[in-house]
Amino acid sequence: MVDYIIVGSGLAGISFADFALMNNKDIIVFNDDSQNSSKIAGGLYNPVILKRFSEVWQAQEQLQLMENFYSNLGGKIKSEVNFKIPILRKFFSVEEQNNWFTASDKPTLAPFLSTSLIFKTFEGIDSPFGYGEVLKTGYVDTALLVLEYHNFLLSKKLLRNETFDYNALVFTEDGLSYKGIDAKHIIFAEGFGMHANPFFNDLPLDGTKGELFIIKAPDLKLDVIVNTSVFILPLGHDLFKVGATYNWKDKTNLPTDEGRTELIERIQEIINCDFEIIRHYAGVRPTVSDRRPLVGTHAERKNVHILNGLGTRGVMIGPAMAKALYDNIENHIALDKEIDITRFAKRRERKS
C-alpha cells in the first residue's frame, strides 16, 4: 500500500510529491499532460502586487520556505531551477515615482521595495523616469522543473503517464484502491482540470487564460526583469520571455490573435528596438475569485484531498500550500481558514 496517489504533476502536484518523499512516504503520481499552465508559466516570484502596491499574502513565509524547497529539489533532479534576479518596475511619470515612495513607507512593503531609484540605461529601452527595484525576487524555470522532476519520478517508477479514471476509484475499509494500487490517501492537484473531478468540481475555480511570447531581440540588453504592464525576462542568447495576458472568458490552451496583438502592443510600449516572435504559448491558470488557493479534504471522504488554485504565483505559493496540506493530513495541524475549502461549504450546500 502506498501512502499517497497524486493526480496531477504541475507545480501543485510536484510540491506535494516532494514533501511526501522528503518524509519517506510512498507515492505514485498520475500525469496526462492535459494542463500546461505550469510548463509555460513565467515562473516569477515577487512579494509585491505592483498594480495595487500591496504585499502578497504571507509573502515572507512563502519566500523562506520556497528557498529551501527549490534548493533541495534542484539537488534531487541535478538541475538548478531557482534564479535570483532583480525585478525593476519601469516608471512612466513622476506620479508613478511618488506612488512608489508612498508604498515603500508602508510597514508591510518596506522590506520589499527599494527607496533608491535606478536610472541605469539599458540598450533597447527608454526610461527617463527610471525604475524602482523590488527586492527578494527571481524566477523558477518551470519548464525545466516539470521536465526533470517527471524524469526523476520515472527513474523511481513513481510516475504513470495516463489519464486518471475517476470511475475506477474504489473506497475500502483501509483507504482506497485504484486499478490494483492500494493507497491511504489521494491528492487531486489537477489545475484547471479540476472541473472534470466529481469530488471537487463544485468548487469555484475560475481559470484565467494567459498568453506569453519567447522573443528574440539582439538590440535589447537586459540583465534584470523589467515589469510594467507585462514582464520581460532575459533568457540569454538574445532571447526573452514576455507575458502575460489575462482572459477570463476563453478556457482553451490555444494561442489567439487577440493575445498576440495585445502582447505586441505592450512590448512596444516598453522597448524601442525590433524583436522577432519565436514562440507563442497559452495556458489556463487555476485561479479563484477570492485569490486564495483551494486546499483541504472532501467533506464525506476523509482520505480524498485537494491542492489547487495556486493562480498566478504558483512557484511562490505552491511549496507553502503543499506543506500546509501535508501537515494537516499527517500531523493534524489545522489549515488556515483563508485556504481551507470549508470556506465554501455553505455555497456548496446550496448547489447540491
In degrees, rounded to 5, the angle at the alpha carbon of residue 46 between the alpha carbons of residues 280 and 268 is 40
The per-residue pLDDT for 349 is: 62
The per-residue pLDDT for 48 is: 94
Integer Cα distance of 106 and 255 in angstroms: 39
The per-residue pLDDT for 37 is: 85
User: Which backbone phi and psi does 183 adopt, to 5 degrees?
Assistant: -145, 155
The per-residue pLDDT for 177 is: 97
The per-residue pLDDT for 34 is: 82
The per-residue pLDDT for 35 is: 83
Averaged pLDDT, groups of 10, the chain, 352 residues long = 97 97 98 86 92 89 95 94 96 94 94 95 95 96 95 97 96 94 98 95 94 97 94 97 94 95 96 97 94 96 97 94 98 97 80 56
The per-residue pLDDT for 51 is: 82
Which residue segments constitute the domains of the chain, with CATH numbers given? 2-44+143-204+289-351 (3.50.50.60), 86-136+208-285 (3.30.9.10)
Radius of gyration of the chain (CA): 21
* Cell reading at 233: 525576462
Record the pTM.
Answer: 0.94
